[in-house]
Amino acid sequence: MLLAEAAASAASKFNTFDIFMILFTLLILIGTIRLVTQPVKNKFAIGFSVVCLLVFLASDFAMVQNWMS
């Protein structure tokens, strides 16, 4: 009984939005890889996607650190 109360009172650090963050990161990664492998390179699109990928990777890192703490 005490264990059930402790489990119910402990707040979960996992949020359903976290799944979408990981999926968006994977989608940006796939897009960046596709842009880099094209024969005609769009440097602006590659730069923008790399910056977006770095921002999402940093937020994913912070999200996972929050899970672990």
User: How high is the pLDDT of residue 3?
Assistant: 60
* pTM for the structure as a whole: 0.78
Six-digit token pair at 48? Answer: 């923008």
Query: What would the 3-class secondary structure string for 22-65 be?
Result: HHHHHHHHHHHHHHHHCCCCCHHHHHHHHHHHHHHHHHHHHHHH
Query: Over the stretch 20-48, which tens digit does the pLDDT of each residue have?
Result: 999 999 999 999 999 999 999 999 999 99
Contacts 24+ apart (CB under 8 A), 60-63: 60/21, 60/22, 60/25, 63/18, 63/21
- Contact predicate 31/49, CB 8 Å: yes
Mean pLDDT of the chain: 88
